[in-house]
Amino acid sequence: MEDVLELYEEMYDAKRPVVCFDEKSVQLVAETRGPSAVGPGRPQRYDYEYERRGTANIFMVVEPLGGRRHVTVTERRTKLDFAAQMQQLVDVHYPEAERIRVVLDNLNTHKPGSLYEAFPPAEARRLLRHLEFHYTPKHASWLDMAEIELSVLSSQCLNRRIPDRESLKQDTAAWERRRNQDRIPVKWRFTVQQARTTLPHLYPPIS
């Protein structure tokens, strides 16, 4: 835990950015009937029935101090999908960075080995030279600021029925553009010292 909190206390460094990574499953739901017509004193209404159309996955990358985020919609969240996200981090989002410090949880796909399953060894090694993984402890995924950003996305963009993956891509892309234009940072306030004071059960007693 302190490893992650110490990262959050560092000053911004464009050559060694700290980014947070997480994912979220989204249920795709379509309307079975169109909404009712609007009239005087009669607001638009939607039928309670709906049609399930499977699920999609959202990958979230957020750079807390830079106020940047990237949202990617995929069909699944396999090891290969994770590896593709890491390649995007290195080659597209942060091509000038010497080292990208990535905060993420302990999901079994979030491992360096996933890159070796997705790419030839030389390519996997090239990418990993630019990546430094910092894992949140088990049952402490709340330390990952990408989880906060996913919560904002859910409340502002996903709180309605979305029928298909293409619609989800369009909606999340519009949300991402707006958030990035505003350069909204994530202001993290929980420090190492506060953890030692308020979470003593996580530290072994000194005999």
Extents of the domains making up the chain: 11-29+50-187
The two structure tokens encoding residue 103: 């905060």
Q: What letter represents residue 194's amino acid?
A: Q
Mean pLDDT of 177-186: 89
CATH number assigned to the domain with residue range 11-29+50-187, chosen from the 4 options 3.90.1150.10, 1.10.8.10, 3.30.420.10, 3.40.50.620: 3.30.420.10
DSSP characters over 193-204? HHHHHH-GGGSP
Q: Which residues contact 34 (CB under 8 A, 6 or more apart)?
A: none
pLDDT at 139 over 60: yes
CA distance 53 to 119: 32
pLDDT of residue 51: 73
Tens-digit pLDDT profile for residues 66-119: 999 999 999 999 999 999 999 999 999 999 999 999 999 999 999 999 999 999
pLDDT grade for 140, boundaries at 50, 70 and 90: confident
pLDDT tens, 16-70?
Answer: 999 999 999 999 987 655 555 565 766 655 555 667 768 999 999 999 999 999 9
The angle, 0 to 180 degrees and rounded to 10, between the axes of the packed helices 145-157 and 165-182 is: 110
pTM for the whole thing?
A: 0.85
